[in-house]
Structure 1
Amino acid sequence: MGSGPTPNPRLRGMHPPQHPAAPKGLVQIEECLDADGGIVLPPDDTLISLIDRNIANVGDAVAFRYLDYAGPDEGRAVELTWAQFGRRLRAVAARLQQVTARGDRVAILAPQGLEYVVGFYAAVKCATVAVPLFAPELPGHAERLDTALRDSAPSVVLTTAAVRPIVEDFLRGLSQPLPPRVVVIDEIPDSAAAAFVPVEIDIDGVSHLQYTSGATRPPVGVQVTHRSVGTNLLQMILSIDMLDRNTHGLSWLPLYHDMGLSMIGFPAVYGGHSTLISPTAFIRRPQRWINALSDASRRGRVVTAAPNFAYELAAQRGLPAPDAGVDLSNVVMIIGSEPVSMSAITAFNEAFARFGLPRTAIKPSYGIAEATLFVATIDPDAEASVLHLGREQLGAGRAVPVAADAPDAVTRVSCGRVARSLWAVIVDAGTGEELPDGHVGEIWLHGDNVTAGYWRRPEETRRVFGARLQRRLEGSHAERAPIDGSWLRTGDLGFYRNGELYVTGRTVDLMTIDGRGHYAHDVEATVAQASPMVRPGYAVAFTADPADRLVIVAERATGTGRKDPGPAVAAIRAEVSRVHGLAAADVVFVPAGAIPRTTSGKLGRTACREQYLAGGLA
């Protein structure tokens, strides 16, 4: 297994800082590093074998906790110890062994909760391929669920008694020759565990299919292997410095999302626990997230993750009373979006500083499903920071710093250093040649956390995962990577400066108008500031045929449903012209919620463009 250079100079050639040793029998971090400090998985170890270690050695400790806000007791905690979790895993896996064969796909269509965690790991435990999805009760995403089920063709669907009727109704609408069998997780007794037959797991076999969110195209299944998921979890643990065993996870992110899955992966590696909340519970009352973080912070270090909008929403609607006793002094908060918003970070920092939130708590990060998830983050002791760059030069592919108050200044947030045993290079996608620092190009990746390609898409897999780096620079970011190695084309644009990676946007969201490049999210930020009629954070910009025709779609802010949009449209046109030198061919206001969202909450620019071109937006 290859080992890339350790990106952090303070750790180059060294083992990580010393922390209290793991309890006897659990995996030690030294087992996972080679002589150069690179990541190497212990022989035959997978998440399932590590879970077995936890069951054997810390069986009475909590493994997973779910805070239930749907019942009469607000935030009632439901827990599974490692021993209880092990029994449930064996029981559900034994039932799956009766109705599946190795390599069959097993889809999880269940609400957020402990049954979902059990179902996912049970599918992995019996060497089937887990397909983490969602119950059809999730509004607005039936088409994505339909696409994923038809594509993965599961032989079994795991669900819960509460949603079984709607799951079965949905499955009856699928035109498959052999409809999947439905197995109800919470109706399987613990006694079924006795029938489980241990299965050897191939570390390079597929653990699960991670369906992409559909932000830029229809969702496709990413084949995540046991090796890639184990490597990526270790990369996160080392980059974020989660080596203290009194570190726990807390997440409301959906378990069908790659970061949501990672939050239930950490405990398997280090024997701690993760606390889960439903996405709906967070959206309805963001303060629940804050209160849960505070409770966890008092017991030890707590790691959470969320996209831009969650930090903005919590700053707006999740502020506790000054005397509420909230303590955020021991939290680490990953923020991952394309790109990360400094305004979201600033708003959250300002709102929660009074509750002990350290300036170093929020960690801008970069990840992608095709690399399992995690790629880069800032150092454990670093604060989030931005570069101010010339707008026109950035559109032309050069990251040229300018003064913060320069009229054409745009900001980009540093995503820090690339993970251990992972290489990231900035490439001219047309020639395959590495670009110098300060030049914008496509981000290409190489490492054992890169997944095995797309499910049933061999040609696209070869194109995206089989890139070849044609030329390396002196002092290359590909140093020590195999000369003939394959590289993953991420579709993301970025650049290096002072050893840190900056993500500028996605290739498909770079609009070329009159020969100049413009990032859609920069135009959208201008639109948001142009008129109070724009719902904050809910505007999309794209080009329509002919290619240089700029279209802006914005949702109406609360209380503006009956207002004449004419003045707001004029203000948006004027501001976009002044800031970007662009003429908006069309500005469309739609009701709140009308812009399509992905299942991870991102605005669907591509889907919105398709609706616009089809005449579906008035």
Structure 2
Amino acid sequence: MEFEQYHDASGAIVIPDRTTLVDFVEANVSAARQDPAQDGLIYRYMDYSKTRDGEVQELLWSQFGDRLYAIAARLQQVAEPGDRVAILAPQGLEYIVSFFAAIHAGLIAVPLFDPDEPGHHDRLHAVLGDCTPTVILTSTQSAAGVRKLFRELPARERPRTVAVDAIPDELGSGWVRPDLGADDIAYLQYTSGSTRVPAGVEITHRNVVTNVMQLFDGLGLSRASRGVTWLPLFHDMGLLTVILPAMGGATITVMSPRAFVQRPGRWVAQLAEAAGEGGVDGVFAAAPNFAFEHAARRGLPREGEPLDLSGVTSIINGSEPVTPASMRAFNEAFSPYGLAPTAIKPSYGMAEATLFVSSPRKDDEAIVIHVDRGDLNKGVMTVLDPAQVEGNDDAIPQVACGYVAPSQWATIVDANIDETTGEHDGTGRELPEGRVGEIWLHGTNVGGAYWDRPEESRATFGNTLTERLSQGSKTVREFGSVPEDGRWLRTGDYGAYVDGQLYITGRVKDLVIVAGRNHYPQDLENTAQDVSDALRPGFVAAFSVPANQLPIDARNGAEIAADDSSETLVLVGERAPGAGKADPGPIADAVRSAISARHGVTAQDVLLVPAGSIPRTSSGKIARRACKTAYVDGTLRGGHQQTAFPDLPTE
């Protein structure tokens, strides 16, 4: 099934109402079974848990089909259409096949994580209670851990646990193709949930099929492309990287997040190996921003060891704010090994849009501009000339996230928010290029709701534009216009267009407002990190706290009235390696001085905490609101190590 047939004359992606993800997978499996020449490799898993060099596990298309049908047939014996099937298994081939098998059975897949991984139990219980799965797919080695999750429930309320590696291929003969349509739910993609129970985005077959085609178009991929990923498969970016080959016919090498973090050179070496395979039309990958700096610092080959990255064409840099420093470090480290300056693709995406929203084109280099800090805080992107940047503390770098994908619309909106209650009325007006506002999305890749949350769904997915630009409106593109009554997704992200490219400036709810002035938290955090090597890079959180909620020891002896709710600035930073015993006083003073000089605001408190204290989301982002909660209730001052929403291991 070639993707071209799903594009109309204008380039719009059009998915027929009876076309599903199952159709694309079936077409690829059938082609492999009918013609041995097409029975190539689809998934390769590099298992580094036992040996340093890794054990190779591979699935050909025909083998993938055999496992898929067997597990799907078993699911059809124990579940009904519409039931949820949670995948709780280690990263690996069994996880991937389980995900597709749930969908092939006509059920709703819920990709989660291995219950044996430490720190996930709070999140697992919250998500499982939300989606109430009928069946849990896992492996034999993880089955005991799965059963422990439900031991407190009465037996009749426990979901059935199925170890997929114990299912024989012969069972596949009983699989019955499900009766599905494009608008049926394929899977629930749970959001990070840093301060609340994670929400399950309902991703339909139309959503995911459209988004995979958008990825192919946006990154210039083909059936001959090869991928390499270490991203967790329960995360939207990790999941799409393994859906992409099953639908588009490409091949991908997978490893675990732990394997990458321990030795990032493994990822780099696999990129080179994939590029060196015969007939490859470019190598793609995706990673969050921290991974680029980590790989540049610890992933270089040994002296004299060969490494050729000239075949790597697209590495998405997404999931967390993109920094020029990380991109520069990666390019400088690996350009001597053939890495093209166009390889890194700063991109924007989110679970509510399935994943992919925007990226530079295949042959474009990443663009970094500098804007005036004062104007940015007022909602205006004033681009500075290069001559105005040198030595200018008010020059803020901004990274372009490229062009919005085909058949998708992204507009910048001044949302109507009640200044007294902070509530949004579901409407907004479009802003022109150069103005900062909330990013709103529309397209058939955008999910329609959160699972079993009608009010939250309406507030997020059901918004309307009351005023559009008469010229230059982003609601109009070459492949069509958004209807006047079209519904828009509020992303919760601030952004702006400059020269047609999308820039992300921060999260709406994270904006720090002190003394009536706006400050982006990441801007304050970067200033703090620049001041002292005692602060762990990437592990500083800035947020505002009402004066009457400040802990006693943060009030510096001042009397604060019980009704004084004026916002004050707080920064919390983890200590860098080797700085565990450093005197916090001089570090805090230096941070306060720099914040005052550069931003014109006083930091009420600068708190240093041990490594691992600051909450992060499951995708690794700083969870500022959760950090604020822990700060106010005193948890952070006790040196508490976070476990409820852990990030990837860092050492």
| TM bracket, shorter-chain basis | over 0.9
Out of 250, 255, 266, the residue aligned to residue 288 of structure 1 is: 266
Return the offset for 1:44: 3.2
Distance 2:154 2:217 in 1: 46
Distance change >3 Å, CA 326–CA 42, structure 1 → 2: farther
Mapping for residues 260-279 of structure 1, pairs under 5 Å: 260-279=238-257
Return the offset for 1:141: 2.6
SS where residue 264 of structure 1 aligns?
A: helix
Distance change >3 Å, CA 542–CA 505, structure 1 → 2: same
Tell whether 2:555 aligns with 1:554: no
Tell whether 2:29 aligns with 1:55: yes
SS where residue 494 of structure 2 aligns?
A: strand
Tell whether 2:449 aligns with 1:453: yes
Return the offset for 1:42: 5.1
Out of 19, 28, 46, the residue aligned to residue 2 of structure 2 is: 28
SS where residue 635 of structure 2 aligns?
A: coil
Tell whether 2:322 aligns with 1:337: no
Return the offset for 1:266: 1.2
Distance 1:153 1:176 in 2: 14
Q: Deviations over 1:366-393 (max 9, x none)?
A: 0011111111001211111112111111
Match of 1:365 in 2: 347
Distance 1:205 1:612 in 2: 43
SS where residue 212 of structure 2 aligns?
A: helix
Return the offset for 1:572: 1.0
Question: Is the CA contact (8 Å cut-off) linking 1:376 and 1:501 kept in structure 2?
Answer: yes
Distance 2:143 2:366 in 1: 44
Match of 1:117 in 2: 96
**Structure 2 letter corresponding to 1:123:** A
Tell whether 2:131 aligns with 1:152: yes
Return the offset for 1:499: 0.8
Match of 2:296 in 1: 315
Q: Deviations over 1:299-344 (max 9, x none)?
A: 2221100011111111111111242111111112100134311111
Match of 2:225 in 1: 247
**Structure 1 letter corresponding to 2:446:** V
**Structure 2 letter corresponding to 1:599:** S
Distance 2:237 2:94 in 1: 18
Question: Is the CA contact (8 Å cut-off) linking 1:511 and 1:517 kept in structure 2?
Answer: yes
Question: Is the CA contact (8 Å cut-off) linking 2:207 and 2:446 kept in structure 1?
Answer: yes
Question: Is the CA contact (8 Å cut-off) linking 2:136 and 2:159 kept in structure 1?
Answer: yes
Match of 1:129 in 2: 108
Match of 1:423 in 2: 409
Distance 1:492 1:296 in 2: 35
Distance change >3 Å, CA 435–CA 174, structure 1 → 2: farther
Question: Is the CA contact (8 Å cut-off) linking 1:217 and 1:606 kept in structure 2?
Answer: no
Return the offset for 1:175: 8.1
Larger displacement relative to structure 2 (100-109 or 176-185): 176-185
Return the offset for 1:177: 6.8
Distance 2:303 2:432 in 1: 49
Distance 1:184 1:385 in 2: 47
**Structure 1 letter corresponding to 2:296:** A
Q: Deviations over 1:246-274 (max 9, x none)?
A: 20121100000001111111112221211
Question: Is the CA contact (8 Å cut-off) linking 1:338 and 1:505 kept in structure 2?
Answer: no
Match of 2:632 in 1: 613
Distance 1:249 1:173 in 2: 42
**Structure 2 letter corresponding to 1:463:** A
Match of 2:210 in 1: 231
Q: Deviations over 1:150-198 (max 9, x none)?
A: 0000011111011111121122246897111111111111111122122
Question: Is the CA contact (8 Å cut-off) linking 1:216 and 1:605 kept in structure 2?
Answer: no
Larger displacement relative to structure 2 (540-549 or 513-522): 540-549
Match of 1:183 in 2: 162
**Structure 1 letter corresponding to 2:135:** V
Question: Is the CA contact (8 Å cut-off) linking 2:574 and 2:612 kept in structure 1?
Answer: yes
Q: Normalising to structure 1: TM-score of the pair?
A: 0.93
Distance 1:47 1:75 in 2: 32
**Structure 2 letter corresponding to 1:302:** V
- Percent same amino acid at aligned positions? 49
**Structure 2 letter corresponding to 1:330:** G
Distance change >3 Å, CA 294–CA 34, structure 1 → 2: same
Structure 2: gaps spanning 5 or more residues: 34-38, 417-426, 548-565, 638-651
**Structure 1 letter corresponding to 2:103:** V
Q: Deviations over 1:524-552 (max 9, x none)?
A: 11111111110111111111123521111
Match of 1:404 in 2: 389
Distance 1:210 1:385 in 2: 31
Out of 592, 596, 602, the residue aligned to residue 621 of structure 2 is: 602
Distance 1:66 1:76 in 2: 8
Distance 2:153 2:285 in 1: 36
Q: Deviations over 1:46-104 (max 9, x none)?
A: 22111111111134211111001012372221011111111101111111111100000
Larger displacement relative to structure 2 (363-372 or 268-277): 268-277
Question: Is the CA contact (8 Å cut-off) linking 1:47 and 1:230 kept in structure 2?
Answer: yes
Return the offset for 1:510: 0.9
Tell whether 2:610 aligns with 1:591: yes
Tell whether 2:449 aligns with 1:444: no
Tell whether 2:41 aligns with 1:65: no
Distance 2:256 2:301 in 1: 20
Mapping for residues 338-357 of structure 1, pairs under 5 Å: 338-357=320-339
Tell whether 2:455 aligns with 1:481: no
**Structure 1 letter corresponding to 2:389:** A
Distance 2:406 2:69 in 1: 34
Distance 2:467 2:51 in 1: 62
Distance 1:558 1:177 in 2: 50
Question: Is the CA contact (8 Å cut-off) linking 1:160 and 1:184 kept in structure 2?
Answer: yes
Tell whether 2:514 aligns with 1:533: no
Distance 2:541 2:152 in 1: 33
Distance change >3 Å, CA 73–CA 492, structure 1 → 2: closer
Distance 1:362 1:597 in 2: 25
Distance change >3 Å, CA 182–CA 305, structure 1 → 2: same
Match of 1:5 in 2: none
Distance 1:556 1:434 in 2: 43
Distance 1:115 1:272 in 2: 19
Match of 1:13 in 2: none
Distance change >3 Å, CA 177–CA 551, structure 1 → 2: farther
SS where residue 164 of structure 1 aligns?
A: helix
Question: Is the CA contact (8 Å cut-off) linking 1:141 and 1:599 kept in structure 2?
Answer: no
SS where residue 374 of structure 2 aligns?
A: helix
Question: Is the CA contact (8 Å cut-off) linking 2:66 and 2:169 kept in structure 1?
Answer: yes
**Structure 2 letter corresponding to 1:552:** L
SS where residue 274 of structure 1 aligns?
A: strand
Question: Is the CA contact (8 Å cut-off) linking 2:289 and 2:320 kept in structure 1?
Answer: no
Distance 2:82 2:221 in 1: 33
Q: Number of matched residues?
A: 591
Distance 1:446 1:140 in 2: 36
Distance 1:269 1:136 in 2: 28
SS where residue 276 of structure 2 aligns?
A: helix
Match of 1:544 in 2: 545
Larger displacement relative to structure 2 (591-600 or 82-91): 591-600
Q: Normalising to structure 2: TM-score of the pair?
A: 0.89
Distance 1:89 1:373 in 2: 24
Q: Deviations over 1:259-290 (max 9, x none)?
A: 11111111122212111100010011111111
Question: Is the CA contact (8 Å cut-off) linking 1:338 and 1:503 kept in structure 2?
Answer: no
Question: Is the CA contact (8 Å cut-off) linking 1:39 and 1:420 kept in structure 2?
Answer: yes
Match of 2:235 in 1: 257
Distance change >3 Å, CA 95–CA 433, structure 1 → 2: same
**RMSD value over aligned CA atoms?**
1.4
Distance change >3 Å, CA 92–CA 72, structure 1 → 2: same
